[in-house]
Amino acid sequence: MSKINIQEKKILNTLTGLLSGLCLSLVFYLLIFDIQGTAFTFQSFFDLHKNTPAVILIDFLPAVVGFVFHFLYKLIWHKHFAHEEVLKNEQQKIDQAINISRNLTQGKLTRFDKNTVYSDELAESLNELRETLIRNKEAEEMRVRDDRKQNWTSEGLAMFGEMLRVQEEKMEDLAYKLISNLVKYLKANQGGFFLIEDEASGQKYIQMIACHAYDRKKFSEKRIEWGEGLIGACAMEKKTIRLFDIPEQYLSITSGLGKANPNILVLVPLLVNNEVHGIIEIASFTKFEDYQIDFIEKVADSIAMTLSNIKGNLRTSTLLRETQAQAEELALQEERMRQNMQELKATQEQAARQAEKFISFTNSVNHTMIRAEYDKDGILLYANTKFIKKLGYGGNREVEGRHISLFINEKDRSWFNEIWAGLGGGGKHFEGYMKHITKQGQDLWTMATYTSIRRDDGSVEKILFLAIDTTEHKKQSLDFESQIAALNRLSLKSEFAPDGKLLTTNDLFNNTLRFTEREMQQMSVFDFLDPKDLETFNELWESVITGKPYQGQLKFINKYEEEKWFRVSLTSVNDMYDEVAKVVFLANEITNEKIMETEGRKQTEKLKLQEEKLRLASIDLNRKMDEKNLAWKKQKEELKSEIDLFRDIIFRSNEIILSVDNSGILLFVNKKAENLWKIKSGNVTGKPALECFNNLPDFPESLINFIDPAKSKTLENPIIEVNRGNGKSETMTVKTVQTEQAGKIAYTLFLNPNYDL
């Protein structure tokens, strides 16, 4: 209602009070005159005031009643406006509650401020709730992503671990099985498996032994030189290479639709103890995430460990076979040499006893042995043909009269001079290996004896030299010794008697088991074993000494009760009578590998336990989510009840309420509007407002702009005349409110009547 209309009503109400007071004064005067029995005239009225001055109070009665009417009207309208303001605030709270409930129901977590809620405290509380919901949602999404990645990695590692445990007979089959499954598991498009190979010259090169593309096995022999291209660079740098900008001619993926370059290329070295055993190459149209690259590297580590074990086993088997063959050959040569020496000794003894047959014996010796005679000063007196030929001279003239130092290497003269001094003084004869120098500077190895020949008076007449050429045998023996020395540096080696008694050990064996040589002299193979393993080992030992070699893993206990694991070979060696003379023990320590294997099993068990905990946590989380859903459903129902209550309050409001959207569709009419325009909410809601109200005779023309979607919703005059029927109209105050929700705009019209419909 306008200020002008209110002022008019105030004046009218005051005049009504004045008239009511005037009438009341007249009634009082009539009663007074009636009591006095006097007629009411101006003279009697004047006389009454003259005789009774107190009646003047009755004259002020119209002014007092008019003032009372004015004051009461003002008080009533103040309370009316205060009530209207309270209703307005309550309406705003209802609208805000409806909007907030809709946002929370639809999961729209927008920020709240003093423009969207009616109190700063509520805005702060709602924003804290919003932040909490957002953090919980993000944390849940992150946890689900992390769980999915971890499960994917664990399943993949378990699958490839099983593949590596069940090894194929051929390396190519195992490589194809690994690379094809890796490409499929990563959902990549192409992959290659490369091995590092060694040539006889010692040079390394890289060989592709398996590849996979679009479920087709490609049998291609692709050799890459060491350091060549990306594959060679990966092998030399020993680091993972990731390429996103791949050269056009480097690699292409072929399908039924043609060829295309991949979007990512990953090269991972198969690395163990800083040694590269091979390369894995994966190409894909889809770029890999970091956890997928980590997965490829972990699989590569497992493959590299398996390749290292395979190569180690092959090397150990080869060395064992070579060592066995060399040991057998060396034993035969030693036995032959021993027999030759025995024969030589027998010959020498026979020569000493039968001096009369010396000439014939000398001739026979000259045909079979190297022979020479020196005086005690070392001057050559005589040399047979074998001596001259073996030492590379042309005849006796080149050697007779020369000092023996001509035939001895300078490095050997110091110790040989001591031997010669003893022989010249009539000391003990020399017997053993002797190295001489030929005219051409080559070594001549012999099994030699130097014997002093005495005169009758016991003085030394000359020194006899007899020898057999053992150069080839000695070279072979030295080669065997160098191989055995190399084997001693790389592997633990020991020899045991058939009953298990320890015969010999190398330094690596002693250092690993920590026993001193004196302690080991009293030990047997059974002393290094855990008592729990003795029964099983006894069966194995019986099998070995019957001629069946053993290769496998074995656990020893060192001096400090520490467990040491070895990959061992046990082989029996027979003597000339084909009887077991000893058992050769060769081994490589694998304690660290065994620890890693044990740790791997522990990690697997730990992972299984974590999986079980995660499963239980998932069940508990689902239970809590169900509880949250039930609570949310209950809150939603309670909120719906409150919304229905607020809607009913609005529907029963004393104001006339009408709401349309920006398309002109009628959204809401309350009961007062139904009564005013004789319509039903259920019949018109959801229809174009123009169709519903344009033809109504009682609908004000000034409100047509409001329901027309093509026109502005701003009303020029907030005061309108509304036809209430029966030819009567009423002045009403108009107010419009614009709201927006999820991109949809709504306009609400409030008409405030001054009468009850």
Does 612 map to a domain? no
Residue 497: its pLDDT value, please? 92
CA distances from 639 to 84, 130, 133, 634, 670 (A): 26, 17, 18, 8, 21
Residue 24: its pLDDT value, please? 75
Q: Can you spell out the DSSP letters for 497-549?
A: -TT-BEEEE-HHHHHHH---HHHHTT-BGGGGS-GGGHHHHHHHHHHHHTT--
Residue 565 has pLDDT above 80, yes or no: yes
Residue 749 has pLDDT above 60, yes or no: yes
Residues 486-541 have pLDDT tens digits of 555 667 888 999 998 998 888 888 888 888 888 888 899 898 888 888 888 898 89
Residues 279-301 have pLDDT tens digits of 888 888 888 888 888 888 888 88
Residue 13, number of CB atoms within 10 A of its CB: 18
User: Are 192 and 300 in a shared domain?
Assistant: yes
User: Are 448 and 396 in a shared domain?
Assistant: yes
More reliable by pLDDT, 68 or 527: 527
Does 333 map to a domain? no
Does 46 map to a domain? yes
Residue 97: its pLDDT value, please? 58
CA distances from 75 to 70, 79, 755 (A): 9, 6, 19
- Between the ranges 98-112, 366-380, 425-439, 527-541, where is the mean pLDDT highest? 527-541
User: Are 180 and 273 in a shared domain?
Assistant: yes
Residues 209-227 have pLDDT tens digits of 888 874 434 444 577 888 7
Q: What is the mean pLDDT of the chain?
A: 78
Residue 214: its pLDDT value, please? 44
Asked which of 252, 284, 313 is the last residue of a domain, the reply is 313
User: Are 699 and 744 in a shared domain?
Assistant: yes
Q: What is the CATH number of the domain that holds 561?
A: 3.30.450.20
Q: Token pair for residue 574? A: 């027979």
Q: Token pair for residue 335? A: 């036995």
Does 308 map to a domain? yes
Q: With pLDDT > 70 as the criterion, what percentage of the chain qualifies?
A: 83
CB 516 within 8 A of CB 605: no
Q: What is the CATH number of the domain that holds 245?
A: 3.30.450.40
Residue 258: its pLDDT value, please? 46
Residue 255: its pLDDT value, please? 45
Mean pLDDT, residues 622-629: 84
Does 152 map to a domain? no
Contacts of residue 327, Cβ cutoff 8 Å, sequence gap at least 6 = 573, 584
Mean pLDDT, residues 18-26: 77
Find, among 532, 528, 534, the residue nearest to 565 by Cα. Answer: 528
Does 138 map to a domain? no
Residue 34 has pLDDT above 70, yes or no: yes
- How many domains does the chain divide into? 5
Please, which pLDDT band fits residue 252 given cuts at 50, 70 and 90? low
Please, which pLDDT band fits residue 49 given cuts at 50, 70 and 90? confident
CA 198, 203, 205 angle in degrees (round to 5)?
60
Find, among 182, 180, 179, 184, the residue nearest to 194 by Cα. Answer: 179
Does 616 map to a domain? no
User: Are 291 and 245 in a shared domain?
Assistant: yes
Does 690 map to a domain? yes
User: Are 174 and 303 in a shared domain?
Assistant: yes
The values of phi and psi at residue 239, to 5°, are -135, 155
User: Are 184 and 274 in a shared domain?
Assistant: yes
**Domain range for 296:** 167-313
Asked which of 541, 566, 589 is the last residue of a domain, the reply is 589
Residue 96: its pLDDT value, please? 66
User: Are 299 and 423 in a shared domain?
Assistant: no
Residue 685 has pLDDT above 80, yes or no: yes
User: Are 64 and 171 in a shared domain?
Assistant: no
Contacts of residue 482, Cβ cutoff 8 Å, sequence gap at least 6 = none
User: Are 299 and 177 in a shared domain?
Assistant: yes
CB 692 within 8 A of CB 706: no
When mean pLDDT is compared across 103-107, 206-210, 706-710, 720-724, the lowest value belongs to: 103-107
Residue 541: its pLDDT value, please? 92
Which three-class secondary structure state does DSSP give residue 609? Answer: helix
User: Are 677 and 730 in a shared domain?
Assistant: yes
Find, among 500, 552, 485, the residue nearest to 316 by Cα. Answer: 552
CB 492 within 8 A of CB 589: yes
Q: With pLDDT > 90 as the criterion, what percentage of the chain qualifies?
A: 1
Residue 151: its pLDDT value, please? 81
Asked which of 285, 313, 341 is the last residue of a domain, the reply is 313
User: Are 498 and 455 in a shared domain?
Assistant: no
Mean pLDDT, residues 422-449: 84
CB 114 within 8 A of CB 120: yes
> Cα Rg for the chain, rounded, in angstroms?
59
| pTM check: above 0.85 | no
Residues 394-428 have pLDDT tens digits of 888 888 888 888 888 888 888 888 888 888 777 77
Mean pLDDT, residues 86-113: 64
Residues 667-677 have pLDDT tens digits of 888 888 888 87
Mean pLDDT, residues 57-70: 75
Residue 217: its pLDDT value, please? 40
